[in-house]
Amino acid sequence: MNQPSAQAAPQRVVVITGASSGIGLETAKAFAALGWHVIGQGRDAERSAKAAAAIKAAAAQGCKVHFLRANLSLMAETKQLADEIKGLTDRIDVLINNAGGVRDQRYVTSEGTEETFSANHLAPFLLTRELMPVLETAAAESEPGAVRVLAVSSMAYLQPQHGLNWVDLQRLEGEFPAGAAYCEVKLANQLFNVELARRVAGKGIVSQALVPGPVATNFFKHGDETMQAYEKTAQTLTPQEVAETLVWMATAPETGKDGGRMFYQMAEHTVQPHGKDPVAAERLWNESEILLASMGY
Ligand SMILES: NC(=O)c1ccc[n+]([C@@H]2O[C@H](COP(=O)([O-])OP(=O)(O)OC[C@H]3O[C@@H](n4cnc5c(N)ncnc54)[C@H](OP(=O)(O)O)[C@@H]3O)[C@@H](O)[C@H]2O)c1
């Protein structure tokens, strides 16, 4: 008698930004080794080519790996990246908004945005919004909480206890304290996490954030002298250790509920009050929508 063949479970799909280096690269390798379809993004041509080869080399048999390039300081390239990703898959199980970092001074993009703000906050905001339909497709076919959006924030979010610089969110005017701008944008990552978690909970999607701690990557090389001096004294984790926490955050039952939380080294981090202020989280969301709309997105 012919038995109907069991429906094979769809290959799970993870999108990881900033996969050409550091935390993102090690996380992409870890997911590829687990047999996921990995879609990575990088910016630098040489690092991206090397990373794509390393992820493919780490991949389990039959696992698909795609690697795309985009400068996420630019919303035009962020939107194009989203379109390219949607051309590769009709479902996304996990989106990891990891790309970003600190700068040594103010750089204003050709779109008129400040780079620290646009790469670390506006790009993940736009990318998540553009990819929401394919995250929802995966959520409709999965257990509640299986589909997740993860933000790579930082302990730097602890610094601006006064909250964000609402009068000039991007710090386009006056002095540019590069370290302070970075701390504020990492608070923005967490506030985005809080508001996103609230908005997608009803769809069975969970949003969480990572605070990696100091990690031995290319991160510090992009910063000013203070940042580079800090690297010499900091007790750093390896990117592999941080990737382990991200895989756990993406797959474990305990991290797949009660969104808006933060995690550090395989454990929950207690979010400080300014990192879970619902008024600030909603205001950031609205201001980001207004800014993107003014840019045509
Ligand atoms: N390392 C730490 O101590 C530390 C601590 C807390 C939080 N973090 C956060 O962890 C995340 C990953 O950083 P990492 O430590 O792995 O540093 P990394 O080795 O410098 O990797 C950063 C990744 O993000 C990409 N990226 C940066 N700016 C970009 C842009 N404008 N457009 C497109 N891609 C961009 C880089 O691409 P290319 O290399 O191809 O240019 C690279 O793939 C960042 O969000 C960072 O803020 C790091």
Query: What pLDDT does 23 receive?
Result: 98
71 vs 112: CA distance, rounded Å: 15
User: Nearest to residue 160, comparing CAs of 130, 135, 140, 186?
Assistant: 186
Structure token pair of residue 210: 């990572």
Instruction: Measure the N-to-C terminal CA separation of the chain; round to a whole number of Å.
Output: 56
Q: Is the pTM of this model over 0.85?
A: yes
Q: Using a 6 Å cutoff on CB, does residue 78 contact ligand 1?
A: no
Q: pLDDT digit string (tens) for 215-274?
A: 999 998 888 888 788 888 889 999 999 999 999 999 999 999 999 999 999 999 999 999
Minimum-distance ligand 1 atom for the alpha carbon of 24: 16
Q: How far is CA 82 from CA 4, 5, 24, 53, 250, in A?
A: 37, 35, 18, 22, 20
User: Nearest to residue 157, comparing CAs of 210, 106, 114, 208?
Assistant: 210
Name the CATH superfamily housing domain 13-294.
NAD(P)-binding Rossmann-like Domain (3.40.50.720)
Instruction: Give the residue extent of every domain in the chain.
Output: 13-294
Nearest residue by C-alpha to atom 45 in ligand 1: 100
Q: Using a 6 Å cutoff on CB, does residue 97 contact ligand 1?
A: no
Query: Could you give the residue ranges of the DSSP H alpha helices within 141-277?
Result: 178-200, 225-233, 239-251
Given a cut of 80, whether residue 1 has pLDDT beyond it is no
Distance 186 CA to ligand 1 centre (A): 12
Furthest-apart CA atoms within the chain: distance in Å = 78
Q: pLDDT digit string (tens) for 29-57?
A: 999 999 999 999 999 999 999 999 999 99
- pLDDT, average across residues 10-34: 97
Q: Using a 6 Å cutoff on CB, does residue 21 contact ligand 1?
A: yes
Q: pLDDT digit string (tens) for 93-136?
A: 999 999 999 999 999 999 999 999 999 999 999 999 999 999 99
Burial of 194 (0-12, 13-18, 19+ CB in 10 A): buried
Distance 58 CA to ligand 1 centre (A): 21
297 vs 170: CA distance, rounded Å: 18
pLDDT class of 7 with cuts at 50, 70, 90: low
Q: Using a 6 Å cutoff on CB, does residue 116 contact ligand 1?
A: no
Helix, strand, coil % over all residues of the chain, rounded to 5: 50, 15, 35
Q: pLDDT digit string (tens) for 181-209?
A: 999 999 999 999 999 999 999 999 999 99
Compute the Cα dihedral for 161, 282, 102, 237 and give only its sign: positive
Concatenating the DSSP letter of every residue in 138-177 gives HHHTS-TT-EEEEEE--GGGGS-TT---GGGTT--SS---
Q: pLDDT digit string (tens) for 126-178?
A: 999 999 999 999 999 999 999 999 999 999 999 999 999 999 999 999 999 99
